[in-house]
Amino acid sequence: MDVNIELNGQPVTLNGPLTLWDVLQKQRLTLHRPQEFAELAWINNPRCPLVNLLEVDGQVVPLAVRAELPVREGMKINTSSVQLDSVLKERLTHLRDRQQCAFIARLQEFTAAEAESNGMVDLEQRAQWDFLMRGSSPSVFHDPNACVRCKACVDTCNDTQQVGALSFDEEQGVLFDDAKCTRCGQCILSCPMGFRKMTDFVGGMMGCAPCPFSRPLGAMREVDDTGKVWNALKDPEKYVVVQFAPAVRATLGEEFGVELGELVTEKLYAALRRLGCRQVWDTNFSADLTIMEEGYELVDRLKNGGRLPQFTSCSPGWIRYCEIFYPDLIPHLSTAKSPQQMLGAVAKTFAAERLDVDPRKMFVLSIMPCTAKKMEAAREEMNSAYRYWLEKGTIQADEQFPDIDVVLTSREAAKLLKMAKIDLAGIAGEQPDPLLGQYTGAAPIFGRTGGVMEAALRTAYEVVAGKPLDTLEFEALGTMEGVKVATVPVNGIDVKVAVAHGLGNARKVCDSVRSGGEFASYHFIEFMGCEGGCIGGGGQIIPTTTLTRQARTRGVNRDDREHAIRKSHENPEVEQLYKDFLEKPLGHLSHHLLHTTYVDRSQQAASSTAATE
């Protein structure tokens, strides 16, 4: 049966019956693509409902939805038209400017409709909003026009974290107190507009999962730096190296369909190498290095009457929290930098020299489970490598550079790999590059609550007692209880240690130390800004729930137990680093590269509060 249609303005007679898809195949037609949008190259979905469009009888329709539509007599089909070009440019402009898929954004409106049905927001009024974007640079970003006024982020900030950086105004919506914000990112995890049940269900039917734009963006989200990294990877003048945090290896696979808690360490080494990174290193190496510095610092304080209890310093959200609300307790903080910052400093000094790479051209990418790590990398004192080379006379004063160039969250890292069309689940595993890649079992447990404490005790005990611990695991410190305690006998002294995770729990311990209460008599206290530690960080894959935290914790614990070497001071590359470069823990060079100072930020927060009253 012949069917007469109009195809791109020309009369065509075809032998039917046919579907729209049949017509495209038989006529060898391609769909229209505006050429000026780089984002088109990143879309990894041949059925993409955002850009695979046809115009049928004057109506723009997605091919994925209408592919099986029967062609009827007189139908007008266009693969290119003024209307199609206009719709595509509008969608791609939205994608370019907001890094958000309009199709996924429309699915998110089911959440907005639910919020309206619960009396939280009027969607007609919401459609008229035109608020300026808000946030806490360089970490957290808020789109008030996407907000459904549920106040989940405000409750998380005020009740769970007890920070008080977010408030709610009936007219303006969620407001930021930037001076109080710790950049922990827990508000992002609580935003229902970022939840993905509906988008994963419908997007799954449309084949959206491999696309970098398939993740719904909440009204609360991280500042997206994937573009900076993409450009650096394409820049021949930049020597891109990468590190990724302990918790990331037990989390990132979730975005690629891997089972909860499954380790993707070796796959990630391979994927980052395919991405174009010249050296693929591991933050677990510098976690071991951190234990050397922080552990020896604890031993020094115990032996020489230093300020106790010593507080850990790996969590930048916790550090900022202490600087804002407990500046009088700053002397308790370990001066040891976090593993992220230690690796950056060593990469642009020791490794740059060994590799004969100009440190000014080395671009250190850091993949973290944490939005606060973006802020930490941007702290003005985090440029130790620059100061090292300046003192040597190798560079000029106006050639300043940071130790870490860009921090991506786990979510951004997944997006970046998808931009490069890399399937993490399907790639064969590889090993890290030498110099800064080896790690012991003590390093991966940095990613969960109690892990830093446990790793530190394995080394500090052996340094003081001259023999290893009877057991390397402290079950009481690895639970999900908010505040945990233990006592470790060391050479006749009962060393009292505690662990707190989540800033609300940190407040309880800090109040006790400040008032001379129970925890003032402790020797060593681990603080993590997020519930569960880094496995529950504000930059982690959504959803981050009790179930996912538990699975990720099992993953990093398994990584520890499967290592033949489980104590940081036995890491061969760390030993070599001290032998060839640093000389010794707490030495002169270690002090300059691996330790830092802190800032009393209480007056800034107080001034901000007064200004809003």
CA 179/CA 182 separation, integer angstroms: 8
Please say whether the beta carbons of 255 and 416 come within 8 A: no
Concerning whether 534 is annotated as a catalytic residue, the answer is: yes
All structural domains of the chain: 2-98 (3.10.20.740), 112-223 (3.30.70.20), 238-602 (3.40.950.10)
Concerning whether 147 is annotated as a catalytic residue, the answer is: no
Q: Tell me the pLDDT tens digit for each residue of 84-120.
A: 999 999 999 999 999 999 999 999 999 999 999 999 9
Q: Tell me the pLDDT tens digit for each residue of 297-328.
A: 999 999 999 999 999 999 999 999 999 999 99
Pick the catalytic residue: 314, 322, 370, 530?
A: 314
Pick the catalytic residue: 323, 376, 454, 526?
A: 376
Concatenated DSSP letters of 513-534: HHTT-GGGG-SEEEEESSTTGG
Q: Is the pLDDT of residue 612 over 80?
A: no
Pick the catalytic residue: 294, 323, 412, 573?
A: 294
Residue 611 pLDDT grade (very low, low, confident, very high; cuts 50, 70, 90): low
Q: Which amino acid is at 569?
A: H
Q: What are residue 60's DSSP bridge partners?
A: 55
Residue 605 pLDDT: 81
Pick the catalytic residue: 373, 415, 484, 496?
A: 373
Q: Tell me the pLDDT tens digit for each residue of 573-604.
A: 999 999 999 999 999 999 999 999 999 999 98
Indicate the SS3 state at residue 322.
helix
Residue 392 pLDDT grade (very low, low, confident, very high; cuts 50, 70, 90): very high
Concerning whether 381 is annotated as a catalytic residue, the answer is: yes
Concerning whether 334 is annotated as a catalytic residue, the answer is: yes
Q: What is the pTM of this model?
A: 0.96
Q: What are phi and psi of 184, to 5 degrees?
A: -70, -25
Q: Tell me the pLDDT tens digit for each residue of 394-433.
A: 999 999 999 999 999 999 999 999 999 999 999 999 999 9
Q: Tell me the pLDDT tens digit for each residue of 41-100.
A: 999 998 899 999 999 999 999 999 999 999 999 999 999 999 999 999 999 999 999 999
Q: Is 465 left (phi over 0), alpha (psi -120 to 50) or beta?
A: alpha
Q: Tell me the pLDDT tens digit for each residue of 226-266.
A: 999 999 999 999 999 999 999 999 999 999 999 999 999 99
Concerning whether 297 is annotated as a catalytic residue, the answer is: yes
Q: Count the Cβ atoms, other than its own, within 10 Å of residue 28.
A: 6
